[in-house]
Amino acid sequence: MITVDQKPLVIVLSRNYSTGLGLIRSLGQAGFEVDLVASARRKNSSVIASSSKYTGHSVEFLTPMIYGDEGRDITDYLMEQGPKDRRTKVLFPADDYTASVVDLNRDLLKEYYLMPEVSGGERGTLTRMMSKDVQGEFAREAGLERPYEIAIYLGDDFDIPSDLPYPCFIKPLKSVDGEKTEMAVAGSFEELVAILNGMKAQFRDRSVLVQEFLNIEKEYDVGGVCLGDEVIIPGVIEKTHLAEHERGVTMAGRMISKEILGDALPKLENMLKTIGLKGMFDLEFNLSGGRLYFNEINFRSGGPHYFYYLNGVNLPELFVKSLCGMDITEDNREIKEFGKTFVYEKVAWEDHINGFLTKKELKEVIDSADFTLLANVDDPAPAKIFARKIRLSLIKQRILKGLKRKHHGR
C-alpha cells in the first residue's frame, strides 16, 4: 500500500485545456505532483494549462484530426517515459479522445501506469461504452427514462423507422468522433434525410444518433467518482446558462443537492455499479414535461467539475487515492452547503466574441457568480494568458470589421 509520503505522480492527459486545468489544480492542491500530456489542434494551444503553477513537466502533441486516431505518438511517449520513473504513476485523461487513447492502449500502458478502467473489462471496453446507444441500453436496463432514439449508419441507405417522432434531434453517436457543431434539429422526414445526406458526404464511415426532440425545462450535470462497488456523488450542477457558440456547453451553474434526482438517483448508482467503472464520470439529465430523462455519460471528468473542488469535495483526489490504495476520509466526500454559483468565463467570453452575448450581459453573468473556473488568485498565470488571448481576439475582430466597412464603402 502506498503511504502518504509516497504520493504517486499523476499524469493528466488533456485535449481541452479547460477540463485539464481543473484537474491539474485539484490534484496539485491535494499535494500530488502533476505532469501534463496535451493533445492540441494547433501549436501552443495547451499553454494555459501548462502555465499553472501546479503543472510540472509538460509536453504537447499536435493532433488536428482525432477521428480514427489511436494516439500512437502519445502512447509511444508514455512507454518511453514509463521505465524512467519508478514511482507509482497514474494516467488521468480529461476528455473523450485521451480517455480513448488510454483505453485502446491499456495492454501496453498497464506495465507502468494505473488508469481508469471497467472491472473485468479489456482493451476498448471504455471506448465502446462511449457510444450513446450502448449507454441508452444501460440506462433503460437500470430503469432510467430515455427519449425515443435510433442509431443511423451514414454509409448505407438510411433506415428511418416510420414511428420516429418529429421534430427529432441529430447528434454524434460518440462525442470522441464528432463535434457539437454537427448537432441539428429536423422537423420532418424530408428535412432529416437532407441533414443526413449532408453529413454522409463528410462522415460516411460512422453513425449518428437520432432522438425524439425534448422541450427541455432544466439541465443537470452530475459529477462523481465510481470506485467499482462504491459511487460518490457529492451534488448536482443545475445549468443556469448554456453557450450558443459551442452549443450546449455549460457557461454557468448552481450547486444543488443530489436529492433533486429523486428515484432516479438509486437507479443511477445501480447502473454505475453494474458497469463496474473505476474512475470519474460526468453525466447529464434533462427535465422535460415534469419527467427526468437520462441524456449521456462521459467516463471522465467534466468541464465544470472544478466547481466541486470549490465546494469542498476534491473528486480527482478521491479517485487517485482509491486507485493507489491510499486512505480516503469520510469528511471530504460531502458538500456542506448548497446554492453557490459559478461561471466559466472562457465560455462566456467566447459567446461575447462571437456575437451571442453583449458586453453588458457578459459582465452581468461573470459578476453575479460566486466562483469563476479560470481566474484563481492562488494560480494566476492561466487567467493572465487567457486575458492576453482575448485582447488579441478583440483586436483582430475590430480590424476585420474595419476592413469590411472599408470594402462596403467603396
CATH of the domain at 104: 3.40.50.720
Domain-ending residue, one of 66, 90, 115: 115
**Where does the pLDDT of residue 272 fall: very low under 50, low under 70, confident under 90, or very high at 90 and above?**
very high
Domain co-membership, 207 together with 224: no
Residues 236 and 349 reside in one and the same domain: yes
Residue 198, domain extent: 148-212
The answer to whether residue 129 is domain-embedded is no
| Number of domains making up the chain | 3
| Residue at 393 is within a domain | no
For residue 290, is it within any domain?
yes
pLDDT score for 166: 94
Do 282 and 190 have their domain in common? no
State pLDDT tens for residues 336-373: 999 999 999 999 999 999 999 999 999 999 999 999 99
pLDDT per position as a tens digit, 123-141: 989 999 998 889 999 999 9
If asked whether residues 207 and 249 sit together in one domain, one would say no
CATH value at residue 198: 3.30.1490.20
Instruction: Answer yes or no: is 265 within a domain.
Output: yes
Pair (230, 155) in one structural domain: no
Q: What is the pLDDT of residues 43-78, one digit of tens each?
A: 988 999 999 999 999 999 988 777 777 889 999 999
Whether 341 and 196 share a structural domain: no
Same domain membership, residue 371 and residue 316: yes
Nearest to 102 by CA among 69, 75, 62, 121: 75
Q: What is the CATH number of the domain that holds 319?
A: 3.30.470.20
227 and 357 part of one domain: yes
Same domain membership, residue 94 and residue 172: no
